[in-house]
Structure 1
Amino acid sequence: MTHRFPIKEIAVQSGLSTATVDRVLNDRAHVSPQTRLRVADAIAELERQESQLAAKGRRVFIDVVIEAPRRFSREVREAGEAVLADLKPIAVRSRFQTFETMTPETCVALLNRIRKRGSQGVCLKARDTPEIRNAIADLNRKHIPVVTIFTDIPASERIAYAGLDNFNAGRTAAYLMLNLIGSQASTVLTTLSQHAFQGEEDRYRGFRKELSRLRPDIDVLDASGGGGLNLATGREVADRVRHKQEIAGVYSMGGGNVAILNALDAAAVRPSAFIAHDLDEDNLELLKANRLSLVLHHDLKADMLSAYRLILAYHGLGSSPRFPTSDISIITPMNIPAAISGPMKSSRD
């Protein structure tokens, strides 16, 4: 495995011992594929964050733990690494661990490893469960602050939340939906990746509340539970729409929109409006093809910068951001930001 970094730096970045890293680098036996991958990922992170290695000043390690489809985790990683230079003279190093699906037990085990290994803070996107809330409390007792990102765990001992105001985003989606589908509409389809993600659940509650207030006659057909992954989300939608061809609109809160559209096409369902979240690669491509009506977008770089600054402020290194909650931007095929409207990469879950 080619690299130019000291073993100690790779060990710190990966969270492994120097002996384990040495075994991986020298291709010795009795090393699991997962451990080899962690070392490879750590080297890749060091390459991307090389300017932080040479930065003078206090060095701070922040762990970022995310359960989300790869397409979204990739966007978050790029955003999180892009803003590290904005935190100078503090030399912040981020260590990402991302999973498409992660059971509460897996998440707790990972947070416990971080607690035992040590960290200056954790940015966490995970489900809101009692086990995970307890793990956050354990980190807090070790003076390792947790900032929830993109989806909150409000009853936990996290120090703050950074990301979109999800309840208001859902209300906004309902207002926009009703202006797109017309007065004769009778049914809209909603999808979440998991109801256990508090952020998506807040979007759903906001959407349902505003829709009920403005148009109580409209039925909501929920097709949630696919984890935002194309295959599973497509199955959920196909099961719900098989005999329901009068769907007027779709509000997708958790992704998997390529699969949602494929399932709708297969069932000959032609909604007049499709509202989605986040400008990931899939959604940009779908916007350009006019398959999405609009995307509710928030600036991931601003979110990650806020999360990092909240952790630094906890340690007395600067002040907290005044507004850690993101504003909503409404992106249509007509106003795709020029900075992110370049050629698309291949679509992946």
Structure 2
Amino acid sequence: MSPLKTPGFRDVADQAGVSVTTVERVLNERGSVSPQTRMKVLEAAERLQLRRVLPSPDYGNLRIEAILPKNPTPYWAKLSAGLKNAAKLLPRGIALYRTFVPENDPPAMIRAIAASKMRRSALIVAAEVNDEIADTLASVAGQGEIVVLVSSKLPELPVQTFSGVDNVAAGRTAASLINFARSGRESKVLVLQANSTLQSHRDRIEGFTTTIGQRFSIDIVMTHEMPGASWRIVNEMLAQDRVPDAIYETGDSGDEIATLLRGMENRPIWIGHERNAAHDQLMREGLLDFVLDQDPDRQARWAMRHILSQLGVAGSKFTTVKRPELRLFCAANLQDFDS
């Protein structure tokens, strides 16, 4: 290179033995470059005395954003807390930011994904089923961002990394427990579907309906996670003397229907989702039989593990985190899993 020529990205790329695109990603702190390659680029830029402020060697202030719905149920609070706790274990120079958007508001979710206020290297997102959301996620992934879905998959997204449990298997598990408990007897089952826009709830319904025995009549009612909806539905059935033999809730309604079941001589089998303090108490009381839990804390940590692996961060504190697994709780095993 001529001593009179000001070095540029092409010169740095030649010195480091990488592409100009890689140089641009490193110097503009866009992530998705291994630490080894990043250091080669920075060293080459320094040798050439590139006229610009170079990023810090410590991962370059990489930013991870988590976009979650504003939802008051304990599950979402636990997932958010899990992400916050996981962020404390990130290496120096990598930070996590949490963004909350209105639930069931696809335009708000799309804006959060496409027009972030920060320059991201990775995105953790819990999104409802929507073609435009899937297209937007595919677009940001195509631009080099690492994308991890938590809690719920998106069928419209051709390639996706999912940190969560098999929700079809969760529905099958609930049906199998009822099949076993009722021993093939003709029975009425009430399914309270909490959500229609998240694939996780659709998957649970699919698994349940394909596994429940043929001698069961099933009534599926949507609650939309509205406060009081589960209570009103069950109360109306009891008033009409249509007492179900089993109740399966695909979401977390806390202890809403407990007051209706308490004191019944032959109460229905009750299966719910997500372990929390209210559900623990109901299981100990003998009202709630089983709780299926998707371990939001491990979902958060596995998502972080995948992102750090893709960024090429070696020896992180998440390397031993296993993929999230469905957990089954009942009164008999609570002492082994106390929070």
Report the TM-score when normalising by structure 1: 0.70
Residue 91 of structure 1 and its aligned partner are, at CA, apart by: 4.7
Q: Deviations over 1:218-258 (max 9, x none)?
A: 1111122322x433443455456653523111111111142
Residue 287 of structure 1 corresponds to which residue in structure 2?
283
Residue 62 of structure 2 corresponds to which residue in structure 1?
60
Alignment partner of 1:234 is 2:236: no
Change over 3 Å in CA distance of 1:244–1:200 after alignment to 2: farther
Which structure shows the higher helix fraction? 1
Residue 308 of structure 1 and its aligned partner are, at CA, apart by: 1.4
- Work out whether residues 309 and 318 of structure 1, in 8 Å CA contact, stay in contact via their aligned partners in 2: no
- Work out whether residues 306 and 324 of structure 1, in 8 Å CA contact, stay in contact via their aligned partners in 2: yes
> Aligned letter for 1:230?
P
> Aligned letter for 2:103?
T
Residue 216 of structure 1 and its aligned partner are, at CA, apart by: 0.7
Alignment partner of 1:75 is 2:72: no
- Work out whether residues 65 and 96 of structure 1, in 8 Å CA contact, stay in contact via their aligned partners in 2: yes
Residue 99 of structure 1 and its aligned partner are, at CA, apart by: 5.1
Distance 2:108 2:239 in 1: 35
Q: Deviations over 1:160-213 (max 9, x none)?
A: 0111111111111111111223443421111222122111111110111011xx
Distance 2:107 2:199 in 1: 18
Alignment partner of 1:336 is 2:337: no
- Work out whether residues 250 and 274 of structure 1, in 8 Å CA contact, stay in contact via their aligned partners in 2: yes
Distance 1:241 1:98 in 2: 38
What SS does structure 1 have at the residue aligned with 2:97? strand
Change over 3 Å in CA distance of 1:292–1:123 after alignment to 2: same
Change over 3 Å in CA distance of 1:112–1:143 after alignment to 2: same
Distance 1:97 1:274 in 2: 34
> Aligned letter for 2:75?
F
What is the correspondence of 1:1-349 to structure 2 with a 5 Å cutoff? 58-67=60-69, 68-87=71-90, 89=91, 91-98=93-100, 101-114=103-116, 117-156=118-157, 159-211=160-212, 215-227=213-225, 229-238=226-235, 242-243=239-240, 245-262=242-259, 271-318=267-314, 325-337=323-335, 340-341=338-339
- Work out whether residues 221 and 240 of structure 1, in 8 Å CA contact, stay in contact via their aligned partners in 2: no
Residue 269 of structure 1 and its aligned partner are, at CA, apart by: 9.7
Distance 2:125 2:61 in 1: 20
Give the count of matched residue pairs.
279
Report the TM-score when normalising by structure 2: 0.72
Change over 3 Å in CA distance of 1:270–1:261 after alignment to 2: farther
CA RMSD of aligned residues (A): 3.0
Q: Deviations over 1:288-313 (max 9, x none)?
A: 32221011123322211111122223
The structure having more radius of gyration, on CA atoms, is: 2
Change over 3 Å in CA distance of 1:337–1:139 after alignment to 2: farther
> Aligned letter for 1:306?
W
What SS does structure 1 have at the residue aligned with 2:125? strand
Residue 35 of structure 2 corresponds to which residue in structure 1?
none
Residue 84 of structure 1 and its aligned partner are, at CA, apart by: 3.2
Distance 1:308 1:183 in 2: 44
Residue 146 of structure 1 and its aligned partner are, at CA, apart by: 1.9
What SS does structure 1 have at the residue aligned with 2:63? strand
What SS does structure 2 have at the residue aligned with 1:279? coil
> Aligned letter for 1:193?
A
Distance 1:242 1:183 in 2: 27
Distance 1:236 1:272 in 2: 14
Change over 3 Å in CA distance of 1:318–1:251 after alignment to 2: farther
> Aligned letter for 1:84?
A
What SS does structure 1 have at the residue aligned with 2:140? helix
Residue 94 of structure 1 and its aligned partner are, at CA, apart by: 2.2
Change over 3 Å in CA distance of 1:242–1:305 after alignment to 2: same
Q: Deviations over 1:144-173 (max 9, x none)?
A: 222111111132156301111111111111
Structure 1: any 5+ residue segments left out of the alignment? 1-55, 342-349
Structure 2: any 5+ residue segments left out of the alignment? 1-57
> Aligned letter for 2:275?
L
- Work out whether residues 60 and 90 of structure 1, in 8 Å CA contact, stay in contact via their aligned partners in 2: no
What SS does structure 1 have at the residue aligned with 2:334? coil
> Aligned letter for 2:122?
G
How many percent identity over aligned positions?
19
